[in-house]
Amino acid sequence: DIQMTQSPASLSASPEEIVTITCQASQDIGNWLAWYQQKPGKSPQLLIYSATSLADGIPSRFSGSRSGTQYSLKISRLQVEDTGIYYCLQRYSNPYTFGAGTKLELK
Amino acid sequence: QVQLKESGPGLVQPSQTLSLTCTVSGFSLTSNSVHWVRQPPGKGLEWVGAIWSGGSTDYNSALKSRLSISRDTSKSQVFLKMNSLQTEDTAIYFCTRSRNWFDYWGQGVMVTVSS
């Protein structure tokens, strides 16, 4: 199984700051990587797909990048509504696996 | 618009079988795949399995021996059956549409395994 090592586990930042969350894949997954945001009591919402493509309706302050088998989600100009838990997902091979999640809180 | 809704019993006894239904609207099951993802209380997400647009299935190998996913395209429904339930199967179960990516999700259904 492909392991997705996500860091940090938690993060606290101030509005307007820039934050970065990373996922390291245990093997090559190409661009088969997505990022999701989940708010309490809600289902996950797709933010980024194919490592770098912004999903419909997602603000442009969210962006994704890739360097080899390391993937990053950057949130520029952090907003209060960005609090939640962020997960990466690899869809390269079965079983599809998620990172453990990053809990983002605003100061 | 695209919608998915999970339904099923909230409480299942240990060793019994779980049966869940995902009713979809706004898209065709013959053109899209539907996946199941679960989330134990306070924990992360786990992919459970999928039924593809052609009707074939894939399962998480950790659950494969206990799991079955099927569908009724005339009713726009996808079914999950998991047997020999244990307490560690307690989770919110989501169904989600996939066109390469899980883009629309149901609200989830909480399943508690307890006697």
Read off the pLDDT of residues B7-61 as tens digits, 9 standing for 90 and up: 999 999 999 999 999 999 999 999 999 999 999 999 999 999 999 999 999 999 9
In this prediction, residue B109 carries a pLDDT of 98
Backbone angles phi, psi at B112, to 5 degrees: -110, 130
Yes or no, beta carbons of A43 and B61 under 8 Å apart: no
Residue B58 one-letter amino acid: D
Longest dimension (CA), chain A: 38
Grade residue A103 by pLDDT with cuts at 50, 70 and 90.
Answer: very high
A-B Cβ pairs (cutoff 8 Å, strict):
52
In B1-115 the beta strands, taken as DSSP E runs, fall at 3-7, 11-12, 18-25, 33-39, 46-51, 57-59, 67-72, 77-82, 91-99, 101-105, 109-113
Q: In chain A, which residues have their Cβ closer than 8 Å to the Cβ of B108?
A: 43
Whether residue A57 lies within 8 A of chain B, CB to CB, comes out as no
Is the separation of the CB atoms in B81 and B18 below 8 Å? yes
Whether residue B106 lies within 8 A of chain A, CB to CB, comes out as yes
Q: For A3-29, what is each residue's pLDDT tens digit?
A: 999 999 999 999 999 999 999 999 999
Grade residue B2 by pLDDT with cuts at 50, 70 and 90.
Answer: very high
Whether residue B93 lies within 8 A of chain A, CB to CB, comes out as no
Q: What is the overall mean pLDDT for chain A?
A: 98
